[in-house]
Amino acid sequence: MLVRTHNAFRESAIRAADRLPLLSSVLQRSMRLLAKGDDVSIIDLGSVIEEDAVITGSLLAIANSVLYSRNNSVASVRLAIARLGVNKTRNVLLGLTVSKCFNSVKIPGSWSLARFNAHSLAVGTLSDLLVQNVKSGDPEWAFMAGLLHDIGLPLLAVGLPEEFRKITANATNDAEIVEIERDLLGFTHFDLGAELLARWNCPRMVQEAVWSCESVEAAHEHPPKLGAIVKTASLLADANGVTTFDTGEDSERTTELLDALAVPAPVDFMEKFKREFGALQTAA
Protein backbone atom coordinates (compact mmCIF):
# COMPACT_ATOMS: atom_id res chain seq x y z
CA MET A 1 0.00 0.00 0.00
CA LEU A 2 2.83 2.39 0.93
CA VAL A 3 4.62 1.67 -2.36
CA ARG A 4 1.44 2.43 -4.33
CA THR A 5 1.04 5.69 -2.42
CA HIS A 6 4.65 6.69 -3.15
CA ASN A 7 4.19 5.83 -6.84
CA ALA A 8 1.03 7.95 -6.95
CA PHE A 9 2.92 10.86 -5.37
CA ARG A 10 5.66 10.59 -7.98
CA GLU A 11 3.23 10.39 -10.90
CA SER A 12 1.32 13.43 -9.63
CA ALA A 13 4.53 15.42 -9.26
CA ILE A 14 5.80 14.54 -12.75
CA ARG A 15 2.42 15.32 -14.34
CA ALA A 16 2.70 18.79 -12.81
CA ALA A 17 5.34 19.60 -15.44
CA ASP A 18 2.47 19.92 -17.93
CA ARG A 19 1.04 22.75 -15.82
CA LEU A 20 4.22 24.81 -15.71
CA PRO A 21 4.18 28.06 -17.71
CA LEU A 22 5.31 27.59 -21.30
CA LEU A 23 8.56 29.19 -22.38
CA SER A 24 8.44 31.83 -25.07
CA SER A 25 9.02 30.57 -28.60
CA VAL A 26 12.09 32.82 -28.80
CA LEU A 27 13.71 31.15 -25.80
CA GLN A 28 12.85 27.69 -27.11
CA ARG A 29 14.27 28.40 -30.57
CA SER A 30 17.36 30.07 -29.11
CA MET A 31 18.11 27.10 -26.90
CA ARG A 32 17.74 24.72 -29.85
CA LEU A 33 20.28 26.76 -31.80
CA LEU A 34 22.65 26.90 -28.83
CA ALA A 35 22.50 23.11 -28.54
CA LYS A 36 24.72 23.07 -31.65
CA GLY A 37 27.60 24.35 -29.50
CA ASP A 38 30.41 26.06 -31.40
CA ASP A 39 28.60 25.40 -34.69
CA VAL A 40 25.85 27.89 -33.88
CA SER A 41 25.58 30.85 -36.23
CA ILE A 42 25.73 34.21 -34.41
CA ILE A 43 23.69 35.72 -37.24
CA ASP A 44 20.94 33.09 -36.89
CA LEU A 45 20.94 33.29 -33.10
CA GLY A 46 20.85 37.08 -33.12
CA SER A 47 17.94 37.12 -35.56
CA VAL A 48 15.89 34.88 -33.25
CA ILE A 49 16.69 36.79 -30.06
CA GLU A 50 15.84 40.15 -31.65
CA GLU A 51 12.21 39.01 -31.92
CA ASP A 52 11.82 39.39 -28.13
CA ALA A 53 12.41 42.91 -26.80
CA VAL A 54 12.75 41.78 -23.16
CA ILE A 55 15.36 39.13 -23.91
CA THR A 56 17.18 41.53 -26.23
CA GLY A 57 17.29 44.18 -23.51
CA SER A 58 18.60 41.71 -20.93
CA LEU A 59 21.38 40.47 -23.21
CA LEU A 60 22.45 44.00 -24.18
CA ALA A 61 22.40 45.10 -20.52
CA ILE A 62 24.84 42.35 -19.56
CA ALA A 63 27.08 42.90 -22.59
CA ASN A 64 27.27 46.63 -21.72
CA SER A 65 27.76 46.08 -17.98
CA VAL A 66 31.02 46.95 -16.26
CA LEU A 67 31.82 43.24 -16.18
CA TYR A 68 32.01 42.87 -19.97
CA SER A 69 32.16 46.32 -21.57
CA ARG A 70 35.41 47.55 -23.07
CA ASN A 71 34.75 51.28 -22.69
CA ASN A 72 32.37 51.18 -25.63
CA SER A 73 28.78 50.03 -25.73
CA VAL A 74 27.15 47.66 -28.21
CA ALA A 75 23.70 48.28 -29.61
CA SER A 76 23.06 45.07 -31.55
CA VAL A 77 22.32 41.57 -30.35
CA ARG A 78 24.92 40.08 -32.68
CA LEU A 79 27.67 42.26 -31.25
CA ALA A 80 26.46 41.41 -27.73
CA ILE A 81 26.73 37.67 -28.51
CA ALA A 82 30.18 38.17 -30.01
CA ARG A 83 31.30 40.06 -26.90
CA LEU A 84 29.90 37.55 -24.41
CA GLY A 85 30.69 34.43 -26.39
CA VAL A 86 28.35 31.56 -27.16
CA ASN A 87 28.74 29.83 -23.76
CA LYS A 88 28.01 32.97 -21.75
CA THR A 89 25.06 33.80 -24.00
CA ARG A 90 23.71 30.32 -23.37
CA ASN A 91 24.08 30.85 -19.63
CA VAL A 92 22.16 34.13 -19.78
CA LEU A 93 19.35 32.52 -21.76
CA LEU A 94 19.24 29.52 -19.42
CA GLY A 95 18.93 31.86 -16.45
CA LEU A 96 16.09 33.71 -18.16
CA THR A 97 14.44 30.41 -19.02
CA VAL A 98 14.31 29.16 -15.43
CA SER A 99 13.24 32.47 -13.90
CA LYS A 100 10.50 33.04 -16.48
CA CYS A 101 9.30 29.45 -16.18
CA PHE A 102 8.74 29.63 -12.43
CA ASN A 103 8.03 33.29 -11.70
CA SER A 104 4.28 32.80 -12.07
CA VAL A 105 4.15 29.52 -10.13
CA LYS A 106 2.16 29.76 -6.92
CA ILE A 107 4.13 28.29 -4.04
CA PRO A 108 2.26 27.09 -0.93
CA GLY A 109 3.32 28.20 2.52
CA SER A 110 6.12 30.63 3.29
CA TRP A 111 8.73 29.10 0.98
CA SER A 112 10.30 31.85 -1.13
CA LEU A 113 10.38 31.48 -4.91
CA ALA A 114 12.65 34.54 -5.12
CA ARG A 115 15.23 32.82 -2.89
CA PHE A 116 14.90 29.63 -4.95
CA ASN A 117 15.56 31.53 -8.19
CA ALA A 118 18.52 33.39 -6.68
CA HIS A 119 20.03 30.20 -5.26
CA SER A 120 19.63 28.34 -8.57
CA LEU A 121 21.30 31.17 -10.49
CA ALA A 122 24.11 31.40 -7.93
CA VAL A 123 24.79 27.65 -8.09
CA GLY A 124 24.86 27.77 -11.88
CA THR A 125 27.30 30.69 -11.82
CA LEU A 126 29.54 29.09 -9.17
CA SER A 127 29.53 25.72 -10.95
CA ASP A 128 30.66 27.42 -14.17
CA LEU A 129 33.40 29.34 -12.37
CA LEU A 130 34.61 26.24 -10.52
CA VAL A 131 35.15 24.26 -13.73
CA GLN A 132 37.11 27.21 -15.13
CA ASN A 133 39.50 26.93 -12.20
CA VAL A 134 39.52 23.20 -11.48
CA LYS A 135 39.83 20.35 -13.97
CA SER A 136 36.63 18.31 -13.88
CA GLY A 137 34.36 16.11 -15.92
CA ASP A 138 31.88 17.60 -18.43
CA PRO A 139 32.74 21.26 -17.73
CA GLU A 140 30.61 22.56 -20.62
CA TRP A 141 27.46 21.46 -18.77
CA ALA A 142 28.36 22.90 -15.37
CA PHE A 143 26.16 26.00 -15.55
CA MET A 144 23.11 24.04 -16.72
CA ALA A 145 23.55 21.37 -14.05
CA GLY A 146 23.99 23.96 -11.31
CA LEU A 147 21.05 26.04 -12.46
CA LEU A 148 18.71 23.03 -12.62
CA HIS A 149 19.94 21.07 -9.59
CA ASP A 150 16.85 21.92 -7.50
CA ILE A 151 14.32 21.86 -10.35
CA GLY A 152 12.36 19.16 -8.52
CA LEU A 153 11.37 21.53 -5.70
CA PRO A 154 8.96 23.78 -7.63
CA LEU A 155 7.66 20.68 -9.40
CA LEU A 156 6.72 19.27 -5.99
CA ALA A 157 5.12 22.59 -5.08
CA VAL A 158 2.89 22.48 -8.16
CA GLY A 159 2.08 18.77 -8.14
CA LEU A 160 1.90 18.03 -4.40
CA PRO A 161 1.17 21.35 -2.66
CA GLU A 162 0.02 19.89 0.65
CA GLU A 163 2.97 17.55 0.95
CA PHE A 164 5.33 20.33 -0.14
CA ARG A 165 3.98 22.58 2.61
CA LYS A 166 4.69 19.88 5.20
CA ILE A 167 8.21 19.30 3.85
CA THR A 168 9.26 22.95 3.79
CA ALA A 169 7.56 23.83 7.07
CA ASN A 170 9.71 21.33 8.95
CA ALA A 171 13.07 21.68 7.19
CA THR A 172 15.79 24.27 7.69
CA ASN A 173 18.39 22.91 5.23
CA ASP A 174 18.80 20.60 2.23
CA ALA A 175 19.69 17.55 4.31
CA GLU A 176 16.47 17.86 6.32
CA ILE A 177 14.39 18.35 3.17
CA VAL A 178 15.83 15.16 1.66
CA GLU A 179 15.15 13.18 4.84
CA ILE A 180 11.54 14.37 5.08
CA GLU A 181 10.95 13.77 1.36
CA ARG A 182 12.17 10.18 1.67
CA ASP A 183 9.94 9.50 4.67
CA LEU A 184 6.83 11.19 3.26
CA LEU A 185 7.07 10.58 -0.49
CA GLY A 186 9.50 7.73 -0.98
CA PHE A 187 11.68 9.85 -3.30
CA THR A 188 13.48 13.20 -3.23
CA HIS A 189 13.32 16.34 -5.32
CA PHE A 190 16.69 15.32 -6.78
CA ASP A 191 15.16 12.04 -8.03
CA LEU A 192 12.24 14.00 -9.44
CA GLY A 193 14.46 16.62 -11.04
CA ALA A 194 16.59 14.01 -12.80
CA GLU A 195 13.47 12.29 -14.14
CA LEU A 196 12.08 15.59 -15.40
CA LEU A 197 15.37 16.47 -17.13
CA ALA A 198 15.37 13.05 -18.81
CA ARG A 199 11.89 13.82 -20.18
CA TRP A 200 13.16 17.18 -21.38
CA ASN A 201 16.03 15.39 -23.17
CA CYS A 202 18.69 17.25 -21.20
CA PRO A 203 22.19 15.75 -21.52
CA ARG A 204 22.72 12.56 -19.53
CA MET A 205 25.59 14.06 -17.54
CA VAL A 206 23.29 16.88 -16.35
CA GLN A 207 20.68 14.36 -15.26
CA GLU A 208 23.30 12.36 -13.34
CA ALA A 209 24.74 15.47 -11.70
CA VAL A 210 21.30 16.51 -10.43
CA TRP A 211 20.45 13.02 -9.21
CA SER A 212 23.79 12.64 -7.39
CA CYS A 213 23.34 15.88 -5.42
CA GLU A 214 21.32 13.93 -2.86
CA SER A 215 24.18 11.71 -1.77
CA VAL A 216 27.44 13.26 -2.95
CA GLU A 217 29.54 15.32 -0.59
CA ALA A 218 31.41 18.48 -1.50
CA ALA A 219 34.11 17.85 -4.09
CA HIS A 220 37.27 16.39 -2.58
CA GLU A 221 38.38 13.90 -5.22
CA HIS A 222 40.54 15.09 -8.11
CA PRO A 223 39.36 15.54 -10.74
CA PRO A 224 35.85 15.93 -9.28
CA LYS A 225 32.76 14.70 -11.08
CA LEU A 226 30.16 17.21 -12.24
CA GLY A 227 27.75 16.27 -9.43
CA ALA A 228 30.41 17.04 -6.83
CA ILE A 229 31.10 20.40 -8.48
CA VAL A 230 27.40 21.27 -8.32
CA LYS A 231 27.13 20.16 -4.69
CA THR A 232 30.17 22.30 -3.79
CA ALA A 233 28.63 25.25 -5.65
CA SER A 234 25.37 24.81 -3.74
CA LEU A 235 27.21 24.76 -0.41
CA LEU A 236 29.22 27.82 -1.45
CA ALA A 237 26.04 29.70 -2.35
CA ASP A 238 24.55 28.80 1.04
CA ALA A 239 27.73 29.89 2.83
CA ASN A 240 27.48 33.27 1.10
CA GLY A 241 23.87 33.84 2.07
CA VAL A 242 22.34 32.98 -1.32
CA THR A 243 20.22 30.15 -0.02
CA THR A 244 16.71 28.81 -0.32
CA PHE A 245 16.55 29.00 3.46
CA ASP A 246 16.94 32.06 5.62
CA THR A 247 20.48 31.41 6.83
CA GLY A 248 23.47 33.67 7.33
CA GLU A 249 26.91 33.76 5.72
CA ASP A 250 29.79 31.52 6.77
CA SER A 251 33.20 32.74 5.57
CA GLU A 252 35.01 29.80 7.17
CA ARG A 253 32.89 27.34 5.20
CA THR A 254 33.64 29.24 1.99
CA THR A 255 37.39 29.00 2.66
CA GLU A 256 37.12 25.31 3.51
CA LEU A 257 35.25 24.46 0.29
CA LEU A 258 37.59 26.41 -1.99
CA ASP A 259 40.70 25.06 -0.25
CA ALA A 260 39.47 21.48 -0.73
CA LEU A 261 39.47 22.04 -4.49
CA ALA A 262 42.70 24.06 -4.43
CA VAL A 263 40.96 26.94 -6.20
CA PRO A 264 43.63 29.57 -6.91
CA ALA A 265 43.09 33.11 -5.59
CA PRO A 266 39.87 32.33 -3.67
CA VAL A 267 39.21 35.98 -2.82
CA ASP A 268 39.37 36.91 -6.51
CA PHE A 269 37.20 33.88 -7.30
CA MET A 270 34.43 35.04 -4.97
CA GLU A 271 34.66 38.62 -6.23
CA LYS A 272 34.20 37.38 -9.79
CA PHE A 273 31.23 35.30 -8.66
CA LYS A 274 29.57 38.34 -7.11
CA ARG A 275 30.03 40.38 -10.28
CA GLU A 276 28.77 37.66 -12.64
CA PHE A 277 25.91 36.64 -10.37
CA GLY A 278 24.84 40.27 -9.98
CA ALA A 279 24.84 40.79 -13.76
CA LEU A 280 22.85 37.63 -14.43
CA GLN A 281 20.39 38.31 -11.60
CA THR A 282 19.70 41.78 -13.01
CA ALA A 283 18.96 40.26 -16.42
CA ALA A 284 16.74 37.54 -15.01
The string of pLDDT tens digits covering residues 67-100 is 777 778 888 999 999 988 888 888 888 888 777 7
pLDDT digit string (tens) for 232-248? 999 999 999 998 876 66
Residue 208 pLDDT level (bands cut at 50, 70, 90): very high
One-letter amino acid at 73 equals S
Whole-angstrom CA distances from 274 to 19, 122, 260 are 34, 9, 21
pLDDT digit string (tens) for 246-271? 666 788 999 999 998 889 999 999 99
Per-residue pLDDT averaged across 162-189, rounded?
88
Measured between alpha carbons, how far is 85 from 178 in angstroms, rounded to an integer? 37
Residue with more model confidence, 228 or 283: 228
Return the sign of the alpha-carbon dihedral for residues 202, 204, 205, 207.
positive
Residue 145 pLDDT level (bands cut at 50, 70, 90): very high
37 torsion bin: left (phi>0), alpha (psi -120 to 50), beta (else): left
Say yes or no to pLDDT of 23 above 70: no
Annotate 176-210 with DSSP letters as a single string: HHHHHHHHHHSS-HHHHHHHHHHHTT--HHHHHHH
Provide the residue count of the chain: 284
- pLDDT for the residue numbered 269: 95
Looking at the whole model, is its pTM more than 0.75? yes
Residue 274 pLDDT level (bands cut at 50, 70, 90): very high
Residue with more model confidence, 107 or 128: 128
Say yes or no to pLDDT of 220 above 80: no
Given a contact cutoff of 8 angstroms between Cβ atoms, the answer to whether 156 and 13 are in contact is yes
Residue 158 pLDDT level (bands cut at 50, 70, 90): confident
- pLDDT for the residue numbered 21: 67
Whole-angstrom CA distances from 190 to 179, 201, 206 are 12, 16, 12
Give the list of residues 6+ apart from residue 178 with CB closer than 8 angstroms, or none.
188, 189, 190, 214
Average pLDDT, the chain: 85
Per-residue pLDDT averaged across 117-142, rounded?
91
Measured between alpha carbons, how far is 4 from 143 in angstroms, rounded to an integer? 36
Measured between alpha carbons, how far is 281 from 275 in angstroms, rounded to an integer? 10
**CA proximity to 194, closest of 163, 216, 217, 220:** 216
Per-residue pLDDT averaged across 133-160, rounded?
89
Given a contact cutoff of 8 angstroms between Cβ atoms, the answer to whether 39 and 86 are in contact is no
